[in-house]
Amino acid sequence: MKQLIAALLCLPLAAFAVSPGQAAPPTAGPLLSGDGEAGLPALRGQVVLVDFFASWCGPCAQSLPVLEKLRNEMQAQYPGRFEVLAVNVDTDPKDGRKFLRRNPISYPAISDPDGAIADGWQLPGMPTSFLVDGNGVVVLRHEGYRSGDEQKLRGEIQAVLGAK
């Protein structure tokens, strides 16, 4: 038994994160704007990119404007069939709101100050995004952000949207 526990402790965190083919965990919460709630249940039937971000995450600040542009492009190409849902993991929602004032987005951003949503997805690092199909199944997990990542995301999103 000790050998099994030791082996499990040596596995990378990504081995435990939600993976393609699995159902998306429950994801809903208060909007950072303070204007109600948002989440995957309200977006059922659409392809959704669930993007986890934090104010202390440098790559998150780089990825948000890219995701904003990609979202607008996909919504123009596939009206009513695609959305991005941002999940802020800051323990103080004020930090998330301040971050979004510096990095504005037009898609919904919810607050997860206690980490319950992030725990459900078992995030391997920041930022991490998950592409969820219209049936609530994860089709892609994307970890980190590097310039040019949007090309891969665009292709994956178009593949899922084109499959309908």
Structure confidence at residue 17 (pLDDT) = 80
State the Cα torsion 11-12-16-22 to the nearest 10°. Answer: -110
Do 55 and 98 form a contact (C-beta atoms < 8 A)?
yes
Confidence of residue 5 (pLDDT cuts 50, 70, 90): very low
Distance, in Å, from the CA atom of 21 to the CA atom of 136, rounded to the nearest integer, reads 10
Q: What's the average model confidence in pLDDT over 6-19?
A: 51
Go through the domains of the chain in sequence order and give each one's CATH number.
30-162 (3.40.30.10)
Q: What is the pLDDT of residues 109-138, one digit of tens each?
A: 999 999 999 999 999 889 999 999 999 999
| Mean of per-residue pLDDT scores for the chain | 89
Q: What's the average model confidence in pLDDT over 93-104?
A: 95
Q: What is the pLDDT of residues 56-69, one digit of tens each?
A: 999 999 999 999 99
Q: What is the pLDDT of residues 69-92, one digit of tens each?
A: 999 999 999 999 999 999 999 999
Helix (H, G, I), strand (E, B) or coil at 106: coil
Closest by CA to 153, choosing from 58, 47, 80, 18, is: 47
What's the pTM value of the predicted model, to 2 decimals? 0.88
**Ranges assigned E (strand) in the chain:** 28-30, 37-39, 47-53, 82-88, 109-111, 128-132, 138-143
